[in-house]
Amino acid sequence: MTPAGSLLVAEDLHKAYGPTPALDGASFSIHPGEVVAVMGPSGSGKSTLLHCLAGIVRPDAGTITYGGRDLTAMPDSARSALRRSEYGFVFQFGQLVPELTCTENVALPLRLNGTRRKEAERAAQQWMERLEISDVGQKRPGEVSGGQGQRVAVARALVTSPRVLFADEPTGALDSLNGERVMQLLTDAARDTNAAVVLVTHEARVAAYSDREVIVRDGKLRDMAGVA
Ligand code: ADP
């Protein structure tokens, strides 16, 4: 049964890589505007879960529904289109395009969706202002600090107004002060736009920015609500 009001729901996911089970009956759901931290030891299946939810990896069994549509039954082209229009991604290392300026990096997803250059750059600048990085707009990623680069990556993920933001260890390469600032800006922006955030982290300090924590262990999920 699908939990009422959920935007993205995974039920009883199984995924194995050869003899290694990465997910072994994992279920998960998230509401619009909710920030959920996915925690657990290394190798427990966190990234595999995120990649399944994002439609990058197809589970061996189980269902994933986004807005009532079954992701597991969609052809690859439809899943890519959904990823481009509805999802945003932030990774541990920003993965910015080194040849482009920071503004061009933020504008890139809009440009790829067919938005005209002026309009895309205007939207990019608004997000960069919000993330307090307007001053690095004309610089290239190699010329900015790690914290600034990661804010550029967050702005790029948010510029298309995604309904779900997937963040895989988004502060893993930052010092604690910069990490906390990025988390504050990211979660404030997501809550304001009512985007759901799936936040993979192994740090309690990062998970503290979430509304709810789930723990992945041996390919299964446990909700921390009510656990002493
Ligand atoms: P986590 O993100 O919690 O560190 P992962 O989802 O990356 O965990 O990995 C879960 C398990 O699946 C681990 O045993 C890992 O070695 C294995 N695994 C993940 N991705 C692959 C892959 N592409 N090929 C083979 N094994 C993989």
| 153 domain-assigned | no
Q: Is the CB of 219 under 6 A from ligand 1?
A: no
Mean pLDDT of 178-188: 91
| 120 domain-assigned | no
With tokens 């982290």, the residue in question is 201
Check whether 175 has a pLDDT greater than 80. Answer: yes
- Specify the 3-state DSSP secondary structure of 70: strand
Q: Which two tokens stand for residue 198?
A: 């799936």
pLDDT at 3: 65
Q: Is the CB of 15 under 6 A from ligand 1?
A: no
Domain of 15, CATH number, reads 3.40.50.300
Q: Which of 131, 92, 90 is nearest to 109 (CA)?
A: 90
Task: Kindly report, residue by residue over 105-128, the tens digit of the pLDDT.
Answer: 999 999 998 999 999 999 999 999
Check whether 226 has a pLDDT greater than 60. Answer: no
pLDDT at 225: 62
Q: Which of 63, 56, 75 is nearest to 14 (CA)?
A: 63
Q: Is the CB of 142 under 6 A from ligand 1?
A: no
Probe target for ligand 1 pocket from 13, 14, 17, with the most ligand atoms within 8 Å of CB = 17
| 82 domain-assigned | yes
Q: Which domain holds residue 32?
A: 1-86+162-173+195-228
Q: Which of 84, 206, 181, 196 is nearest to 130 (CA)?
A: 181
> What is the residue-wise DSSP string for 24-58?
EEEEEEE-TT-EEEEE--TTSSHHHHHHHHTTSS-
Check whether 134 has a pLDDT greater than 70. Answer: yes
Q: Is the CB of 45 under 6 A from ligand 1?
A: yes
Check whether 1 has a pLDDT greater than 50. Answer: no
- Give the atom of ligand 1 at the shortest distance from the alpha carbon of 200: 2
Probe target for ligand 1 pocket from 47, 52, 56, 201, with the most ligand atoms within 8 Å of CB = 47
Q: Is the CB of 147 under 6 A from ligand 1?
A: no
Instruction: Give the H or E element holding residue 102.
Output: helix 102-112
| 122 domain-assigned | no
| 135 domain-assigned | no
pLDDT at 121: 96
Give the Å distance between the CA of 42 and the centre of ligand 1.
9
| 203 domain-assigned | yes
- Specify the 3-state DSSP secondary structure of 58: coil
The chain-wide mean pLDDT, for the chain, equals 92
| 16 domain-assigned | yes
What's the structural domain count of the chain? 1
Backbone dihedral angles phi then psi of residue 199, each to the nearest 5 degrees: -110, 105
| 149 domain-assigned | no
